[in-house]
Structure 1
């Protein structure tokens, strides 16, 4: 059995589910299952939503 770390899992999982390269993520990640939260955050911070066609947006 391999000793995969949580960081390795996240580095693989985030780009696959969001469509955003891992290097484009910031220091903090807010995970939510409410689309409205993502929209409100993007509106408040003046940023785009990435991965509209993916299971998760960033």
Structure 2
């Protein structure tokens, strides 16, 4: 997948964080991509839909 064609979405929490630290997520072919907004050139990590959902659930609890 061409990285320029991926639609990265900034975390909604980022808009309220004073320093602007945030992450971006993007749907990839069968995975979810996650990257640091301040270090986009460092690449991203990928998680399966189940792993990403479990991660978000753990954050919320």
TM-score calculated relative to the size of structure 1: 0.33
- Structure number with greater CO (CA < 8 Å, separation at least 6) is 1
CA radius of gyration, larger in: 1
TM-score calculated relative to the size of structure 2: 0.32
Whichever structure has more strand as a proportion of its residues is 2
Whichever structure has more helix as a proportion of its residues is 1
